């Protein structure tokens, strides 16, 4: 009898790693917190498609919009922790929302398991083609003179474009009305149509429209010019030092997802970002690629906590809160 029990226990122990090695055996749901066509969605599709090749299963994109990504992250936190539902987010959705939304029914740090850091990109100061300003100083003067007529766009409260707008306000002294959309894609279409006049938008989203002549660009919110748009000056070069904001992205899973599965997804993400073609696509959109060390789950988790400690006082000071 004891021998049979021992053999059964050995069989269970042996089966554990086998299950981990078999993962995944079906498609993986990738929750994207913004609408199709926005920068987070674009990154999810570029990186997710390459990760799917590594994992041997399809990545199914699930665009869950609303409340600046907090609805999507809530859905992720409530998902079964089996590796078949993961989510992509960024500085806004997985740090700033924790400071803005008073009544989140989940904890961004404790209810989600970090998988991997993904690329980051600076923001661009862009306007519709109807705005007459020729450079950033002229734009700031124009925004101040027409504050009651100008509207600026964001992808929603706590989004990267909202964070950028707050930083822009603080340094330039402008204070135009903000219109919060359900994702960057819809917001930039309103910008092209001049329904709104200005955005501090992620470069990965704005650059294709700038290159197509549909938007005007004034500056990049980085210490150095971006290789994807070398003719665009930094905000400091354009006369307004201190506006330095980069929106990093990452992958998370529900808390309790087995470490072996986290490690397997992380390895697929690292491999994807080492692919020359994937790197070319992302760098062409102004993205900065993290190193494999920066992408480690524990390193990424520590970075997320440090970013929360950095941004919460800034958000609190700005008085941006949602009940």
* pTM flag (> 0.75): yes
Per CATH, 16-121+247-318 and 122-220 having the same topology is answered yes
Could you tell me the pLDDT band of residue 64, with boundaries at 50, 70 and 90?
very high
Report the C-alpha gap between 118 and 80 in whole angstroms: 23
**Average pLDDT, whole number, for the chain?**
91
CB count within 10 Å of CB 14 equals 9
For the segment 218-238, the average pLDDT, to the nearest whole number, is 94
* Bridge partners, 249 (sequence order): 90, 118
pLDDT score for 12 = 37
Residue with tokens 């330095």: 244
Predicted confidence (pLDDT) at residue 9 exceeds the cutoff of 50: no
Choose the CATH number for 122-220 among 3.30.70.120, 3.40.50.410, 3.40.190.10, 3.40.50.2000. Answer: 3.40.190.10
In 117-145, which positions are buried (b, 16+ CB within 10 angstroms) versus exposed (e)?
A: bbbbbbbbbbbbeebebeebeebbebbee
Query: Are 296 and 266 a contacting pair, CB within 8 Å?
Result: yes
The phi, psi pair for 201, rounded to 5°, reads -110, 155
Chain centroid to CA 239? 28
pLDDT score for 19 = 47
Report the C-alpha gap between 268 and 57 in whole angstroms: 11
How would you classify residue 256: left for phi > 0, otherwise alpha for psi between -120 and 50, otherwise beta? left
Report the C-alpha gap between 267 and 53 in whole angstroms: 12
Could you tell me the pLDDT band of residue 68, with boundaries at 50, 70 and 90?
confident
pLDDT score for 20 = 52
Q: Where are the domains of the chain?
A: 16-121+247-318, 122-220
Note the CATH number of domain 16-121+247-318.
Answer: 3.40.190.150
Query: Are 257 and 83 a contacting pair, CB within 8 Å?
Result: yes
CB count within 10 Å of CB 95 equals 28
Could you tell me the pLDDT band of residue 214, with boundaries at 50, 70 and 90?
very high
Report the C-alpha gap between 97 and 116 in whole angstroms: 19
Q: Collect all residues with Cβ–Cβ distance below 8 Å to 20 and sequence separation of at least 6.
A: 258, 260, 261, 264
For 123-144, the pLDDT digits (tens) are 999 999 999 999 999 999 999 9
* Bridge partners, 239 (sequence order): none
Predicted confidence (pLDDT) at residue 15 exceeds the cutoff of 70: no
For 151-187, the pLDDT digits (tens) are 999 988 777 898 899 889 989 999 999 998 877 888 9
């Amino acid at each position: 009898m004891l021998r049979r029990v021992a053999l059964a226990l050995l069989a269970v122990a042996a089966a554990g790693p086998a299950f981990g090695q078999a993962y995944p055996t079906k498609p993986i749901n990738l929750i994207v917190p913004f609408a199709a066509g926005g920068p987070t969605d674009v990154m999810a599709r570029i990186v997710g498609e390459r990760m799917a090749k590594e994992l041997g299963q399809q990545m199914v994109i699930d665009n869950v919009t609303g409340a600046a990504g907090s609805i999507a992250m809530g859905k992720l936190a409530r998902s079964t922790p089996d590796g078949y539902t993961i989510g992509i987010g960024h500085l806004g959705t997985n740090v700033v929302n924790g400071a803005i939304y008073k009544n989140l029914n989940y904890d961004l740090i404790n209810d989600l398991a970090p998988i991997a850091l993904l690329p980051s990109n600076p923001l661009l100061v862009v306007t519709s083609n109807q705005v007459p300003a020729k450079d950033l100083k002229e734009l700031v003067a124009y925004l101040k003179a027409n504050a009651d007529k100008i509207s600026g766009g964001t992808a929603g409260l706590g989004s990267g474009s909202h964070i950028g707008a707050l930083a822009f306000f603080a340094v330039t002294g402008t204070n135009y009305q903000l219109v919060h959309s359900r994702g960057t894609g819809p917001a930039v279409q309103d910008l092209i149509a001049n329904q709104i006049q200005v955005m501090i938008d992620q470069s990965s989203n704005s650059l294709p429209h700038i290159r197509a002549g549909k938007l005007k660009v004034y500056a990049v919110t980085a210490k150095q010019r971006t290789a994807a748009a070398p003719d665009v000056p930094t905000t400091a070069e354009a006369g307004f030092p201190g506006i330095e904001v980069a929106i990093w992205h990452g992958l998370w899973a529900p808390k309790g997802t087995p470490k072996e599965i986290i490690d397997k997804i992380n390895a697929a993400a690292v491999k994807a970002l080492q692919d020359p073609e994937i790197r070319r696509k992302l760098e062409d959109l102004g993205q900065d690629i993290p190193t494999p060390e920066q992408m480690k789950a524990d390193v990424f988790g520590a970075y997320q906590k440090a970013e929360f400690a950095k941004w919460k006082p800034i958000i609190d000071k700005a008085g941006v809160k949602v009940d």
